């Protein structure tokens, strides 16, 4: 049985893009659709038995009609070619209010053949060309879905998260024991597993949301554990494989070094009455992100030549990339930079961002005032206090200094 596992599409991200005159969409939206097309084409080419998506279809909880149309068009290509698609609800898919539908529930409402939407924990038995399979679905769960108000009363955030972890672990355990051991089984979850390497999208929320221990999901009852939520692809365990597919396209510079794509999972009978799952990462042509660092010195003879040289050194990587040029320079050189020429040198890039970190001369602070704010007499007094003069000598110098300042003769 061949399975495609991917997650965190986040369709609708438009940062670092520009309008595409051909489609009217942001070029970045096209980026996300293009890598999705790569996945769909590959799934059809290898005649995949199942595609599992582990949550976060869109950037926002309320995607535009165009975004929904484009997502449905690709899901429809798979489903109409007899490739079942399993859609897990992620945190970005949940509406703002309880009772409102998620953006992916439309497939259930229309009873689209070969498309399954998991908005709550459950066991789904799906018939595929390679045979039946069971999927334990653990979508992103609201706090209110795991804890009652009474349970959460008077608890701090750490205690609430501990309670949530216990409740989430119990839900997974209950579904696991209900599995049929004679059938292949996959756990599909959108959550944070303790110990996973978090990307930029998670560092802001780590410690603020519940996490489960890997020992609670790496259960031999499963042939494969498919995860979503963390954008950095990684394998947390081998038996069974516990895998974060990562995001399908780079979201920002925090993911510039991450290889993007999806996993192809192969579940086979091992001949000893057991099943074995192998997996392989399949990269996609994600938009390249590139950072160029330039540090100019105060004695720089030709700052522009130095910048252009640094740009030319990355010439091959710049083409069609999202490029961030960071220039660190002393304030005396600021007027010598010509932004138009810099952008011309970066012209082959898809998107250009230029930042300047200007190092300005720091002035000594006297008391709680800047040097520009202090009187000449106070400045002299402050300076004398930093010298190793005897008090009497300091007083004499202050007196002479005051007379000079006031223009009086001795």
Identify the band that residue 398 occupies on the pLDDT scale cut at 50, 70 and 90: confident
Please tell me the predicted confidence (pLDDT) of residue 200: 63
Q: Are 360 and 340 in contact (CB under 8 A)?
A: no
pLDDT digits (tens, 9 = 90+) for 383-395: 887 776 777 788 8
Closest CA to 8 of 78, 93, 134: 93
Contact (Cβ atoms closer than 8 angstroms) between residue 212 and residue 190: no
Contact by Cβ (8 Å): 139, 89: yes
**So what's the pLDDT on residue 72?**
96
d(CA 79, CA 100): 26
Of the candidates 264, 259, 265, which has an alpha carbon nearest to the alpha carbon of residue 246? 259
When pLDDT is averaged across residues 148-176 and rounded to a whole number, the result is 80
More confident call, 204 vs 353: 353
Q: Report d(CA 99, CA 96) in Å as an integer.
A: 9
Q: What is the pLDDT of residue 410?
A: 46
Q: Give residue 204's pLDDT band: very low, low, confident or very high (50, 70, 90).
A: very low
- pLDDT in the model for residue 202: 56
Task: With cut-offs at 50, 70 and 90, classify the pLDDT of residue 33.
Answer: very high
pLDDT at 117: 95
What residue ranges do the domains of the chain occupy?
2-283, 289-359, 365-406
pLDDT in tens, 131-156: 999 999 999 887 665 566 666 667 77
2-283 falls under which CATH superfamily?
Metallo-dependent phosphatases (3.60.21.10)
Q: Which regions of 198-336 does DSSP assign to beta strands (E)? A: 211-212, 224-228, 234-238, 241-244, 261-269, 275-283, 289-295, 322-330
* Tokens describing residue 246: 């990562």
Rounded mean pLDDT of 43-57? 97
pLDDT in tens, 186-202: 999 999 998 898 876 55
| pLDDT band (50, 70, 90) for residue 369 | low
State the average pLDDT over residues 66-88: 96
Q: Give me the mean pLDDT over the 27-54 stretch.
A: 97
Residue with tokens 């409740």: 167
3-state secondary structure of 217: coil
Q: How far is CA 199 from CA 238, 244, 256, in A?
A: 22, 12, 11
pLDDT digits over 11-31, tens only? 999 999 999 888 888 999 999
DSSP structure string for 40-65:
HHHHHHTT-SEEEE-S--BSSSS--H
Average pLDDT, the chain: 88
User: The pTM is what?
Assistant: 0.82
pLDDT band at residue 341 under the 50/70/90 scheme: very high
Give the position of tokens 């097309």.
Answer: 37
């Amino acid at each position: 049985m061949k399975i495609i596992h991917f997650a965190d599409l986040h369709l609708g991200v438009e940062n670092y893009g520009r309008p595409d005159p051909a489609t009217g969409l942001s070029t970045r939206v096209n980026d996300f659709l293009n890598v999705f097309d790569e996945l769909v084409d590959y799934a059809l080419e290898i005649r995949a038995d199942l595609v599992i998506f582990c949550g976060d279809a869109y950037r926002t909880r309320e995607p535009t009609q165009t975004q929904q149309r484009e997502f449905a068009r690709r899901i429809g290509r798979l489903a109409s070619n007899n490739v079942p698609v399993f859609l897990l609800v992620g945190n970005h898919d949940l509406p703002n209010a309880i009772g409102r539908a998620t953006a992916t529930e439309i497939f259930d409402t229309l009873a689209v053949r070969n498309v399954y939407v998991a908005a709550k924990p459950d066991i789904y038995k799906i018939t595929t060309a390679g045979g039946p399979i069971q999927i334990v679905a653990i979508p992103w769960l609201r706090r209110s879905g795991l804890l009652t108000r009474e349970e959460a009363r008077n608890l701090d955030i750490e205690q609430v998260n501990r309670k949530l972890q216990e409740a989430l672990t119990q839900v997974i355990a209950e579904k696991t024991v209900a599995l049929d051991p004679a059938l292949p089984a996959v756990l599909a979850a959108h959550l944070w597993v303790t110990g996973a390497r978090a990307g930029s999208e998670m560092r802001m929320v780590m410690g603020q949301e519940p996490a489960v221990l890997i020992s609670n999901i790496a259960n031999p009852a499963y042939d494969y554990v498919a995860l979503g939520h963390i954008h950095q692809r990684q394998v947390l365990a081998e038996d069974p494989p516990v895998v974060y597919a990562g995001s399908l396209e780079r979201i920002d510079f925090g993911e510039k070094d991450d290889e993007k794509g999806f996993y192809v999972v192969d579940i086979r009978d091992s001949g000893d009455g057991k099943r074995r799952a192998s997996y392989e990462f399949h990269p996609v042509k994600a938009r390249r992100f590139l950072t160029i660092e330039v540090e100019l010195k105060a004695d720089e003879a030709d700052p522009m030549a130095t910048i252009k040289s640094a740009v030319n050194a990355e010439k091959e990587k710049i083409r069609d990339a999202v490029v961030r040029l960071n220039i660190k320079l002393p304030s005396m050189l600021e007027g010598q930079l010509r932004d138009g020429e810099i952008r011309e040198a970066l012209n082959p890039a898809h998107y250009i961002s230029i930042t300047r970190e200007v190092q300005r001369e720091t002035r000594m602070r006297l008391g709680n005032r800047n040097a520009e704010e202090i009187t000449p007499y106070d400045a002299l007094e402050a300076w004398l206090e930093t010298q190793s003069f005897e008090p009497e000598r300091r007083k004499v110098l202050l007196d002479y200094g005051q007379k000079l300042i006031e223009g009086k003769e001795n």
